[in-house]
Amino acid sequence: MTMDQNEPNKLQGTGRLSGKFALVTGGGSGIGRAACQVFAREGATVAVVDVNETGAEETVQSLQKRGLYSHRSYVTDVTSAAAVSRLVESVRADYSVVPDVVLASQGVQTHTAFLDMDEETFDRIVNVSLKGTFLVVQAFSRLMVENKIAGGSIITMGSLRAAQGSAFHSHYAASKGGVVSLTKSVALELAKYNIRCNVVNPGAITTPLQQQDFVPEEEMPKRIQAIPLGRYGDPIEVANLCLFLASDESSYMTGQAVDITGGR
């Protein structure tokens, strides 16, 4: 299953997120962009957040306009507490409502042997994946609580590598393992506010991030053979799972790590 990046916009939504306001970090490409498109198609207003201004704005331009408010893009380095605080203030200034759906899907990785890894490389990966998720989820869950947003949904992005480990990606696997544990723990604290927190663990998905894996062409058949469904996933497939978690259809679901891996 391979779709172009505008495939979600060729489909007609059924209003599953009608009236909702979704904020998506990492929305400038890959899974984040696909999620923005699916959320918008289903009636949500979407705030697209990315460190890449061009990518974020391109995503906004690709969104169907079915929500109550205009979609907007925000350039933010989620590894900075000050930057995330400014993001919160900008969103509050631009909208009369606060997000009731938050998807923290930002990520970065390198292909680095553990014995060769330096502190800077390790910190960069952990800061984006784990610290960034902490800062975003904390800031916007506080906003939900302060504004008494019942039925809020927070979705984070883990990885199959968090559970299985991954040679040359120990830093990435560790950061995503932290995201899984963080999400499950936060879910226990936020449940009393009727705010749900779940984490999605993708396997091999065709995204710009996956392309940073530096897998030799001759190794690809072996990689694909290891997946029971016999192919890489598409971002839209992960986005559809995020849609379910964002919607009221998953209203009794929190603290869960949901794998989407093609059977691995």
Long-range contacts of 57-60 (CB under 8 A, 24+ apart): 58/28, 59/27, 59/28, 59/29, 59/32, 59/33
Span 7-47, pLDDT tens digits: 555 567 899 999 999 999 999 999 999 999 999 999 999 99
- What's the burial of 258, exposed, middle or buried (CB within 10 Å: 0-12/13-18/19+)? middle
- Tokens coding 62: 């690709």
For residue 9, is it within any domain? no
Partnered with residue 197 across adjacent β-strands are: 154
For residue 152, is it within any domain? yes
- Tokens coding 254: 């929190």
For residue 6, is it within any domain? no
- How many domains is the chain partitioned into structurally? 1
Span 140-162, pLDDT tens digits: 999 999 999 989 999 999 999 99
For residue 210, is it within any domain? yes
- What's the burial of 57, exposed, middle or buried (CB within 10 Å: 0-12/13-18/19+)? middle
Which residue range(s) make up the domain with 90?
Answer: 21-260
Span 213-229, pLDDT tens digits: 556 667 778 889 999 99
* Confidence (pTM): 0.93
Centroid of chain to Cα 165: 20
For residue 242, is it within any domain? yes
- For residue 253, give the CATH number of its domain: 3.40.50.720
For residue 15, is it within any domain? no
Would you put residue 48 in left (φ > 0), alpha (ψ -120 to 50) or beta?
beta
For residue 231, is it within any domain? yes
For residue 13, is it within any domain? no
Q: Which residues are catalytic?
A: 172
CA–CA separation, 98 vs 15, rounded Å? 19
